[in-house]
Amino acid sequence: MLKSPSAALLLGAALLVAGPALAAGDAGKGERVYKKCAACHQVGEGAKNRVGPELNDLIGRTAGSVDGFKYSKAMTEAGAGGLVWDETTLDAYLESPRTAIKGTRMAFPGIKEADDRADVIAYLATFSKQAAAPAPAETKTAEATPAPAPTAAVPAADAAVPTHGVFHLGRAATADEIAAWDIDVRPDGVGLPEGRGTAADGEVLFTERCASCHGDFGEGAGRWPVLAGGRDTLKADRPEKTIGSYWPYLSTVYDYVRRAMPFGDARSLSDDEVYAITAYLLYLNDVVTDDSFELSRENFTSVKLPNEENFIADDRSAEPHYAGKVEPCMKDCKAEVKITMRARVLDVTPEAGKENEGTTKVD
Ligand code: HEC
Ligand code: HEC
C-alpha cells in the first residue's frame, strides 16, 4: 500500500481502487512480459541505467531515487512525496504510467492485462532483496527467491512460445526452428556436421538424385547447370564456371548441396550423403583421382579447390581507380545544373527485336 497520502494524490484514483485484490504473479511468465521493458530498462547483475533507470531492488525503493539517472520532475517529486515501489504502486504505474504519474518521462503506454502486470512485478521482485510484499494468499513464496539474472534468451526446445513479439507480430522462433535454419558451413570448416562419405558412394547417389539434371558426369543435361570441367576457360569469351574451374571453397559445395539440392527436394539428403556427393564432385572435377577417397569433417579443410588463389581480398582503396581520388565533393560542388536533354526525346529504350541498337552511347 502507499506509504504516504501525498503519493496517493500524485498517483490518482487508479491506485485507490487497486486495493487488496491484486493477484499473485508468475515470475516465469513475467520474464516474457519484461521483454517489453527491456528496450529501455536493465535488471539483474551489472544492470545499468539506460533510457530508463536500472530496476534492481525495485521493491521497497523510493521512486526516482537511482543515483545518476535523470528523472522527470514528476518522478522526483513523487519520490519526495513518499512514493515507494511495491506491488500496488507498481501495478498502478504499469497499467497506465502517464495517468498514474502525470508528467513521467516513461514513454510506455502501459500493460492492460492485470495478470501480465502481476507477472512482470513478480519477475522484477526476484531481483529485489526486499521481496515483494506477499499478495493476498501466501502461496507463491517460491517466486520471491532471487532467480539468476536472465542470460541471452534462447528458448528451450519445449518452452512455450509467446503468441506475439514486442510488436505484436508473429512469435519468437523455437530452438528447433533456429537449429533447422542454422546450417551454414564456413571455408574454415566451422559449421560442418559430423559425418563422412566416399566418392564411390557419392557416384551412386549422384546418378540417382542429380544426374537427371546435371548429367552423369556433371556435364549438365540440356540447359541445367554444369558442375564439372571448364578448367582454364576463365579468360575465354564464354568462361565455364564450375566447382572445379571457378569456386574458391569446398565449403560452398557442401553448404549448397545440403541446403538446396536436389532441386525441388531440398534437405532430403543426410549429412553423410552430402559428404559422399561432395567427394564425388571432387572426383568429377579431378581434384581427387581415387574413387575410394573418403571426405569427412576431419579432412574437409585439407582439400583446396584449384581456383582459390585467384580470389583476393578486395582492398578498393588501393586500386588505381580509387587510389588517386580525393575526398568526394558533398556540398556546393557545381554552381549550376543544366538539363540538356530528356530521355523521352533521346529515345534511349531499345525496341523489342532490335537487341543491338540500344547500345548507342548517350553523352
Ligand atoms: C520506452 C522506454 C521505456 C519502456 C519501454 C519502459 N520504461 Fe520504465 N521508465 C522509462 C523511463 C524514461 C523512466 C523514468 C521515468 C521518469 O523519470 O519519469 C522509467 C521509469 C520506470 C520506473 C520507475 C523507476 C524508479 O526508479 O523510480 C519503473 C518501476 C519502470 N519504469 C518500470 C518499467 C517496466 C516494468 C516496464 C515494462 C513493462 C517499463 N518500465 C517500460 C522508460 C521506459
Ligand atoms: C530437377 C533438376 C535438378 C536436380 C535433380 C539437381 N539439381 Fe542441382 N541445380 C539445379 C538447378 C536449376 C540449379 C541452379 C539453381 C540456381 O541457380 O538457383 C542447380 C545448381 C546446382 C549447383 C550449383 C551450380 C553452380 O555452379 O552454380 C550444384 C553444386 C548442384 N546443383 C548440385 C546438385 C546435386 C549434388 C544434386 C543431387 C543431390 C542436384 N544438384 C540435383 C537443378 C537440379
Task: Look at residue 154 in the predicted model and tell me its pLDDT.
Answer: 47
- Say which DSSP state 246 is in: T
**CATH 1.10.760.10 corresponds to the domain 5-144:** yes
Determine whether the shortest distance from the Cβ of 197 to ligand 1 is under 6 A.
Answer: no
Give the separation between CA 105 and CA 221, rounded to whole angstroms.
67
Closest ligand to Cα 261:
2
Query: Which residues of the chain fall short of a pLDDT of 70?
Result: 1-23, 131-166, 353-363
- Say which DSSP state 84 is in: B
Determine whether the shortest distance from the Cβ of 105 to ligand 1 is under 6 A.
Answer: yes
Query: Could you tell me the pTM of the whole model?
Result: 0.48
End-to-end CA distance of the chain: 79
Compute the chain's Rg from CA coordinates.
33
The grid coordinates listed for 215 are 548429367
Determine whether the shortest distance from the Cβ of 117 to ligand 1 is under 6 A.
Answer: no
Task: Look at residue 355 in the predicted model and tell me its pLDDT.
Answer: 53
Yes or no: say if 124 and 86 are a contact pair by the CB < 8 Å rule: no
Task: Look at residue 252 in the predicted model and tell me its pLDDT.
Answer: 97
- Number of the ligand 2 atom closest to the C-alpha atom of 253: 29
Domain with CATH 1.10.760.10 in the chain: 5-144, 196-310
Instruction: Please state which CATH class domain 196-310 belongs to.
Output: mainly alpha
Task: Look at residue 328 in the predicted model and tell me its pLDDT.
Answer: 75
Burial class (CB in 10 A: 0-12, 13-18, 19+), 236: exposed
Pocket of ligand 2 (CB under 6 A): 209-210, 212-214, 224-225, 227, 253, 256-257, 261-264, 277
The grid coordinates listed for 361 are 552511347
Give the separation between CA 94 and CA 36, rounded to whole angstroms.
11
DSSP, collapsed to helix, strand or coil, labels residue 62 as: strand
Closest ligand to Cα 111:
1
Q: How far is the CA of 261 from the centre of ligand 2 (A)?
A: 6
Residue from 210, 258, 273, 284 whose mutation best tests the ligand 2 pocket (most atoms within 8 A of CB): 210
Task: Look at residue 160 in the predicted model and tell me its pLDDT.
Answer: 53
Amino acid in position 274: V
Q: Hunting for cell 519445449 — which residue is that?
A: 158
Closest ligand to Cα 206:
2
